[in-house]
Chain A
Amino acid sequence: MAALAHAITCIVRRDVTVAWRRVHDVVLPLVFFAIVTSLFPLGVGPEPNLLRELAPGVLWVAALLATMLSLNRLFANDYADGTLELLALAPHPLSVLAIAKVASHWLLTGLPLVLMAPLLALSLNLPDKALATLLYSLLLGTPVLSLIGAIGAALTLGLRGGGVLMSALVLPLYTPVLIFGAGAVAQAANGQSAEAHLSVLAAFLALALTLAPWATAAALRVSLD
């Protein structure tokens, strides 16, 4: 058990160190998040009431797309330098090691997105009362995005047309999270309770934590064979 915990911390620590050395890899999706969010006012006009209406959806779609972009980093680098094969041969369950990879991915992508979101929300006139719900919804939702995204990344490892193919596979699976995430924020913005939506998101997280690591490990084995 201790060995497994040690393995997990090693993986997370390594990923964070690597990310520190390749900061642009991590920062770019966050910049993308900001850019996409600013594109919408440019596209639909700066009318404050319109932006307020759109804000929950725009923020969530932008977060989704930014996560999509960052997914290629999840396994591709380790696949290229052979680390992934070593991980697969390790005496630990691959599904747990996959969780470790996803955890470090979330720490480097999902968490920063959550922290950035309130700032961007203000630029879109999201009412203050909805900010807490925005944070909760993203806190619950972005790990789900990372977990599901890991499956897509594992399935398309090394395939040509990988990035676009992965997006096509993963985005339909993201839609329930988007629906309830943006829905929660929209409810809060209207002064209504977002409890039901957040509960569903929590259920998604529980489901993803249970099933996604297995699917990711299975997909990694298929891709590595």
Chain B
Amino acid sequence: MNWTEFFAMGGHAVYIWPVYGIAAVILAFNVIQPVTRRRTVFKRLRQYYRIKSKAR
């Protein structure tokens, strides 16, 4: 397996690797964002319930 040749992709490396790179970024974002949001949601809900029980 000639790695140099593989990465050169027949001279088209400048087109192919950015595509896969951007795909990775976009897919990663779509995983990370809901995960982070979940933590925020829990934090906010905990606060909300705390305030609600105090107000009773």
A–B interface present (Cβ within 8 A): no
Residues of chain A touching chain B, judged by Cβ–Cβ distance below 8 Å, are none
